[in-house]
Structure 1
Amino acid sequence: MPAKAVLLSDPLQHLWGQVSERVREARLRRNMTAEQVAKEAGITRVTLHRLEQGDPSVTVATFLKVLDALRLSQDLAEVAEDLERRTPGERLPPRRMPARIRVEDYPQLRQIAWHIHEPGATVSPQEALELYERNWRHVDQALVIPKERALIDKLVATVGKGVFLV
């Protein structure tokens, strides 16, 4: 019987949904069936399906078993090592750029992407950098939150190859 529904804030539910979707994509990229992964993880196919659909009541233990079955547990171990090595105030090294960036998660990006109206709309990293570069004069520097500053820095470092054309 499934665990009771867990209530997550919208941002956390969105994050869990992204993680769950990536677990499914990882399984498909490996040409593994749900039955294969479930068997190797020691869970039912239904539980795997719930995880892949973003059900927040799936336990951490189940999530870890599935990562191990997909040979992804080392990636999580690297994240844990990064967190352990981190000292207060120290920034983590840049991680991989997400494939899509949610416009509404970044206030100044939302402001300069005035032409994008759909709730939950996303742009590619290339599109995001181009929006910032083209409209930088409209970005209020005082209102750039740390999360958005980190995104801009990461965009410049990766997509812009260290160059910010403003």
Structure 2
Amino acid sequence: MIAKINPSPAQDLPLLARLGAQITARRKVLKVRAQVCAEVAGISRVTLHRIEKGEPTVSIGAYLQVCEALGLHLALLPIVGEKEDINLHDPEMPHIRIKDYPQLKALSWQLKDDEYLTDAEAMSIYERNKRFLDLSHLKEHERVLMQRLIDTRGMEQMLV
């Protein structure tokens, strides 16, 4: 008899929900319709919807196909806190939480507050919607983020 380890669904759901949110954010930043994304990944639109919701019953292969279709690199990283030298600001990894930046949240109203964006995705949102930025209400930490994007990604200087 083979022993089967069943992690509790509560442990899986937050991580898969975050992964699904990041997949959704990437698809929307790229302006790819769900049907097109599903076709490129070789899955049904319903399966893509389930992936974006973070459902644990979808195969890991389907998750990987969608990631590949969207140009995402799925990597295994240590759990935060296990290793002190983790670079939480790797520009290629989604790490900018929308709800932490009021102007970004206002510009990306269609995305969920708890979604995370890469530097490139955040920069794209700021640049595409710069005419809607309210610079008079820009919080200091968001100004720092925008300056970092300018310095590292070449975003336009006029934003900050």
TM-score tier, shorter chain, comes to 0.3 to 0.5
Structure label with greater radius of gyration:
1
TM-score, normalised on structure 2? 0.46
TM-score, normalised on structure 1? 0.45
| More relative contact order, 1 or 2 (CA 8 Å, 6+ apart) | 2
